[in-house]
Amino acid sequence: MRFVRRIPATDKKLSEKLVAENWRKIKEPKNLLTAILASVPLMFINGLLSISIIIPIYNPLKSIIANYTFTVTIKEIVYFIIAAFILIIVHELIHMIFIPHFIKSDKTYWGITLNGGFVTTTERISKIRFIIISIMPYFLLSIVVPIILGFCNVLNNFIMALIILNAMASSVDIFNLFLILCQTPKNSYIINNGFETYFK
DSSP letters for 41-105: HHHHHHHHHHHHHHTTT--HHHHHHHHT-----HHHHHHHHHHHHHHHHHHHHHHHHTSTTTTT-
Share of the chain above pLDDT 90, in %: 65
Q: What share of the chain is helix, strand, coil (3-state, %, to 5)?
A: 55, 15, 30
Planar angle of CA 170, 138, 62, nearest 5 degrees: 100
Whether residue 31 has pLDDT greater than 90 = no
**pLDDT mean over 37-48:** 95
pTM, entire model? 0.88
| pLDDT of res. 115 | 64
Domain interval for residue 29: 2-199
- Beta bridge partner(s), residue 126: 189
Give mean pLDDT, residues 92-118: 86
Number of domains in the chain: 1
Give the pLDDT confidence score for residue 157 in this predicted structure: 86
Residue 134, pLDDT > 80, answer yes
Asked whether the predicted pLDDT for residue 65 surpasses 90, the reply is no
Q: What is the pLDDT of residue 125?
A: 95
Average pLDDT over residues 68-80: 80
Fill in the DSSP letter of residue 118: E
Mean pLDDT of 41-70: 81
Q: Is the pLDDT reported for residue 140 higher than 80?
A: yes
